[in-house]
Amino acid sequence: MTERLEYRALNDQAYAAIKQELMSGRFAPRQILVLRALAEAYGISTTPIREALQRLVGEGLLEMLPNRSIAVPDWNPVKFIELFRIRCELEGLAAEMAAGFTTPALLAQLAEFVGAIDTALAENRHGDYVALNQRFHFAIYHTARSPRLLRIIENLWGEVGVYMNELFANADFGGTANDAHRAILSRLREGDAAGVRAAMVHDISLAADAMLPRICELAGGGSNLALMQTTRTQA
């Protein structure tokens, strides 16, 4: 019985690790996930990796190709727009809920993230920005005290994380990338729940505007103006 419990825990750990890699943009669209390579990277056998990948396929975060390979889904601007709209609603809600549970420790942590993001941007460490941005957001979402909402948001990030590395395809994004974080932090300090929600939606919208032209291009459709306008008219 003990061995079986440990085996299950290993499957869960593999699932959590791969999902986190998806959320943080460590994998790219169209990338084939190779069992042996992942097993070697995590220092475990291929069996828990296989089961973790199948679980992620079932959740829609990965896809099974006709040759039975498992891959990160391809670039998809329409899917990105759908995820953007859902994120605005659910992450805005989580931020609004978090405003009621804000503590000095959380505010200090978020202020540290903002400072670290400023440094990363100044040094053009875009990968660090992506990681710090995720930590900033999820520090707030955890504070909302809604485990079900948190799980849904994690799944959304599991789908959208692969796009995050395109944030800086827009050369202008870096200059304002941290302004929305400051606005979120300011509204949290004031206890302004509605203001926090609005600032979070604004932050997500700015990022979507920065990424979408590049996503359209990578998907083979060029810069689709109608799709880009959707991020503003349907948010």
Number of domains the chain is built from: 2
Residue that is written with structure tokens 């498992």 in the block: 70
- 75 backbone dihedrals φ, ψ, rounded to 5°: -55, 135
- Give the pLDDT score at 173: 92
Q: Pick the last residue of a domain from 52, 71, 90.
A: 71
Cα–Cα distance measured from residue 117 to residue 177, given in angstroms and rounded to the nearest whole number: 9
Strand partners, 71: 32, 63
CATH number for the domain spanning 86: value is 1.20.120.530
**In this prediction, what percent of the chain has a pLDDT beyond 90?**
85
Domain shared by 97 and 55, yes or no: no
- Give the pLDDT score at 9: 87
Domain shared by 25 and 103, yes or no: no
With contact defined as beta carbons under 8 Å apart, do 115 and 122 qualify?
no
Domain shared by 157 and 221, yes or no: yes
- Give the pLDDT score at 67: 95
User: What size, in residues, is the chain?
Assistant: 235
- Give the pLDDT score at 7: 58
Domain shared by 135 and 117, yes or no: yes
Q: What contacts 154, CB < 8 A, 6 or more positions away?
A: 19, 23
Domain shared by 63 and 154, yes or no: no
CATH number for the domain spanning 27: value is 1.10.10.10
Domain shared by 119 and 224, yes or no: yes
Q: What contacts 70, CB < 8 A, 6 or more positions away?
A: 32, 33, 53, 54, 57, 62, 63, 64
Q: Pick the last residue of a domain from 39, 71, 103.
A: 71
With contact defined as beta carbons under 8 Å apart, do 201 and 235 qualify?
yes
- pLDDT, tens only, 122-154: 999 999 999 999 999 999 999 999 999 999 999
- Give the pLDDT score at 223: 54
Give DSSP secondary structure letters for 172-232: THHHHTTHHHHHHHHHHHHT-HHHHHHHHHHHHHHHHHHHHHHHHHHTTS---HHHHHHHH
| Whether residue 3 has pLDDT greater than 50 | no
- pLDDT, tens only, 90-105: 999 999 999 999 999 9
Give DSSP secondary structure letters for 78-114: HHHHHHHHHHHHHHHHHHHHHGGG--HHHHHHHHHHH
Domain shared by 106 and 160, yes or no: yes
- pLDDT, tens only, 16-72: 999 999 999 999 999 999 999 999 999 999 999 999 999 999 999 999 999 999 999
Cα–Cα distance measured from residue 93 to residue 90, given in angstroms and rounded to the nearest whole number: 5
Domain that holds residue 228: 77-233
